[in-house]
Structure 1
């Protein structure tokens, strides 16, 4: 085949069986690849509704049809399972170099079921697939696990996908990580992997990916690369990555501060991406075949690593009322090595602090800790307790929905989640399309299922042409946002199917359906056109939403926490604004 390898590696960890399944072309044309192929096959699996942490529950890892080719920024992979955090459709993706290595090893997808009777590592070494004892890395962090496995397996040129102690201990929002810091952060895929006693998947491939029309494909890829570098936002993204959002959102009055009680941090200059660049960043890093090089390696007192991305930086600074950037760098190291989602852990801690502020959680219930804003020692202590599921951390490790239900006393009002998934560091009172996205996304409070970045940087005239009203480019307006989300929901899925970076394909508005269909046609040799592409995207979205219905979700679950619907911010450029969710939902459902 061209582009695709056309193969899924199926592993039964209970029986130790290894099989290779051919992927029919009709399945590929119905799902594209990556997240789409995962969702398609997960939904069809006989045990897709099994409890997430039971042996029979399936776990899929998928890459795209053009991953490993010359298509820039297409280096991501998706991990899919029923989420142990939410009980509904779960998936997460990350970049780096693991995805292309899986393609070079000959596979588009890995399907895992069962549970090993002891901790194991799965080694995929071209055509050789085998299990390796993981006793020497079980209990270790992701950094040390990677170091040991590369040496032990003589796989210095291989790529390691691993979980940390949080995944081993069943923290409901634990992560899977590749290349040390490329984190599949959301929905608890690390806990699913840990429940199977699978510590890591090590991949080494020596093959290559052919495309159907090399000359035309190279021309399209080269044009795309030029568009990226000519984009007005290229230099800023290269220098700051997503941390540029710290200053930008603060200026708009929607930087989450003290658990969304405020929208600006008076100490922004101490925690901004610009501050990190000037004082701690030492080099840029890149995912496979990406010309943006937006990741940053930093060195600071007590901290050294890659990142942080905006969500982690905001979480461990303004969201928890902390003004210390170096502390955030240290927490970035900690959560990445342990395999812990920074968004969910930060929201759980923020919820606890605000509940304590309102007298809903006592000091005794919190293991004697002083739950107050900016208390760095307590925040770090709580992270350690969450990772180990000890004391108060055992409750927080369940996620904010379950924790608030167990505490009760009205604490549920301060638990900021949708469908059980904790809210990101984006205040929807000043980003109305994002608010709609959080409400309707199939995995919960998620911006990446649509990423309607157009409402922040879009042109009013273009908004009128594309979405019917200039207000689609006004972040404080609700009109036009349903059409914007409907479009960007499909474009976000497309990037996940191509395993392309959303920051480039969607936020920079580089991809189009027409261009993507042409890339797929000349890349795979299959009969892709715009109509076939859009039909596949609609099929995958419908599949994910239908799965959630089977898991018990209804339209009543398409909502937002009370604060964002009823409590306007009182200061700054977003003062007085709330999310008019019902109006946007009515328009959105007319489009479905």
Structure 2
């Protein structure tokens, strides 16, 4: 491979309207790296910043990085799109087999544009591009769709990734997700609705090609060294053993676990839904994304009874802290079996469980305050009533009436219509499961993905009691820079203690990207700023964000939340983000 070839991205651009795909060789590896950077580059080339998210011409982008397939935990795919949730350019990240399937298909990225004439599945591989009519799958849930597609789009078993949507995506829910290989998701900000608007039920990537190993003699030693750090050092034990549900008891002890629509931050029944309780009562096995030796995917068991036949079925449901929080304490549910069952229903509908759970928590409080009646909800909602929430998840996925149509656009959209904006737990999007305090609330509100993983703000809150706006803003900006570097590779962010910048440099050099390794800091900063520019070009103004009143009414281990300090953090971080997105000096 020549240096010029090594600088180019290999991208398949497929137009569903025309039923045609074109292979594009796009230069820029040394400037955009891959993953997050590549997705931002592709949106600048194919996106329509001023048009609606559901405009058929808008791209749905799947991008991987230069280290995908070559090193442990380089296992994620970045999905870039214009979000129907907030009308901004957005990213969502997922693992499963998606990243390695793209690598074995010989692609750095797949860009899907247009709208298929009939509900279809796009199947791509190194030797195959096919658009398959699946009109009969209209309305099918995620798992039924996956089961049938394993037969319809057979081949490349083990290196095949099936990315599909459920009824929520077809119905345009602003937080519909794309299910990836059953246990993983492009979950946040509505990628599933964008796929649904394209009349695309699924994208199947056949990893049917070869992956030649690097010729650099240092490769095997570097791989071994990283693998040992991951598996033998104990660095990743938390993620394999109890997984992120290990956070429940510490967060509850710190008064940082949201309960019942954030009416409380701790509860004596937290032990019932702890990581330990899930492991003891429900854990069936661990699974892993392709290319990952850790096995952080925890799969639990749900038994579904059929009253008419007195028979039951066993469902395998993946769980993590965030889904458990949204289906558990946020809804006042403390039976771990029911937490998994609520997750299972949301999964089948193709709903992002975090947004769906938090939105339903708002709905419960809205009903208790008389803003919403049972006529709208069609089922009596009450904290702790798992049966009601399972039914409501189905109604939400199917957009059963005007109320669920509004709630499917987000809790704040529903609150703007029915009232109750002060207690809508939305920080840019529905909050994740950390009520750690001012730093986290300001960070999730302003940050690029409005995600708990944009920065380590939730961790910062747990370690710092002092109130220093400048120090916090500096931390948020610096921490984001290093994370964006990893999302350009694309590495699992659980591996951020392994893939420090010096190790990343060694990885890139070993893979033949020596020039990129030498200029890694500049390239990472370029990618970071460019993705912010994409977000700004689509209308995002961080200074206009707001933090609902509920977040200033709680108490954490540090005491009552300081609303004035939190607002100062929001404003300070927003100003820093504007500076990051400012035009380049030579622009």
Q: TM-score normalized by structure 1?
A: 0.89
Structural mapping, 1:180-579, within 5 Å: 180-210=182-212, 212-302=214-304, 304-367=315-378, 369-391=379-401, 392-408=403-419, 411-419=420-428, 421-429=429-437, 432-443=438-449, 445-452=450-457, 455=460, 473-474=463-464, 477-478=467-468, 480-505=471-496, 509-529=497-517, 532-564=519-551, 566-569=552-555, 573-578=557-562
Matched, 1:15 2:25: no
- Unpaired runs of at least 5, structure 2: 305-313, 581-587
SS in 1 for 2:315: strand
- Quick check: 1:175–1:340 contact (8 Å CA) kept in 2? yes
Contact residue 162 and residue 204 of structure 2 kept, 8 A: yes
C-alpha distance in structure 1 between counterparts of 2:381 and 2:285, whole Å? 36
Residue 364 and residue 587 in structure 1: after superposition, are their counterparts in 2 closer, same or farther (change >3 A)?
A: closer
Question: What SS class does the counterpart of residue 166 from structure 1 fall into?
Answer: helix
TM-superposed deviation, 1:404: 1.3
Q: CA shift at 1:156, angstroms?
A: 6.2
Q: Cα RMSD (Å) of the superposition?
A: 2.3
Deviation at 1:128, TM superposition (A): 1.7
**CA shift for structure 1 position 350:** 0.9
2:83 touches 2:191 (CA, 8 Å); kept in 1? yes
What is the alpha-carbon distance in structure 2 between the residues aligned to residue 517 and residue 48 of structure 1?
A: 34
Q: Tell me, in whole angstroms, the C-alpha distance in 1 between the residues paired with 2:436 and 2:261.
A: 13
Displacement, 1:304?
Answer: 2.4
User: Does residue 1:34 correspond to 2:35, yes or no?
Assistant: yes
Q: Gapped runs of 5+ residues in structure 1?
A: 458-472
Q: Which residue of 1 aligns with 2:583?
A: none
Say yes or no: does 1:581 pair with 2:570.
no
Instruction: Give the superposition deviation at 1:8.
Output: 0.4
- Matched with 2:66 is 65
> How many Å apart are 1:534 and its aligned residue?
2.1
- Cα displacement (A) at 1:379: 1.2
Q: 1:233 to 1:402 in 2, by over 3 A?
A: same
- Matches of 2:215 and 2:253 in 1, distance apart? 47
Structure 2 CA distance for aligned equivalents of residues 188 and 522 of structure 1? 37
Residue number in structure 1 paired with 2:133: 133
Most deviating of 218-227 and 196-205 = 218-227
Checking the alignment, whether the CA contact within 8 Å between 2:156 and 2:206 is kept in structure 1 is no
- Check 1:49–1:362 CA distance in 2 against 1; reply closer, same or farther (3 A cut): same
Q: Give distance in 2, aligned partners of 1:228 and 1:46.
A: 38
Relative to 1, partners in 2 of residues 1:365 and 1:133: Cα closer, same or farther, differing over 3 Å?
closer
- CA distance in 1 between counterparts of 2:87 and 2:94 reads 22
Residue-by-residue CA offset, 1:472-531 (whole Å, 9 max, x unaligned): x426755532222112211221221112111222xxx2222222122112214341235x
8 Å CA contact 1:43, 1:544 repeated in 2: no
Tell me by how many angstroms 1:318 deviates. 0.6
Aligned length: 560
CA distance in 1, matches of 2:491, 2:6: 14
Deviations along 1:144-175, whole A, 9 cap, x unmatched? 21221221233260321111111111111101
8 Å CA contact 1:5, 1:103 repeated in 2: no
Q: What is the CA–CA distance in structure 2 between the aligned matches of 1:65 and 1:108, rounded to whole Å? A: 8
Query: Residues 71-105 of structure 1: CA distance to partner in whole angstroms, max 9, x if unpaired?
Result: 11111111111000111122211111121011101
Q: Is the 8 A contact 2:89 2:535 kept in 1?
A: yes
Q: Deviation at 1:5?
A: 7.9
Q: 1:77 maps to what in 2? A: 77
Distance 2:532 2:203 in 1: 29
Task: Give the equivalent residue in structure 2 for 1:112.
Answer: 112
C-alpha change, 1:478 and 1:266, in structure 2 (3 Å) is farther
- Quick one: distance in 2 between partners of 1:161 and 1:252? 38
CA change 1:309–1:475 in 2 (3 A) is: farther
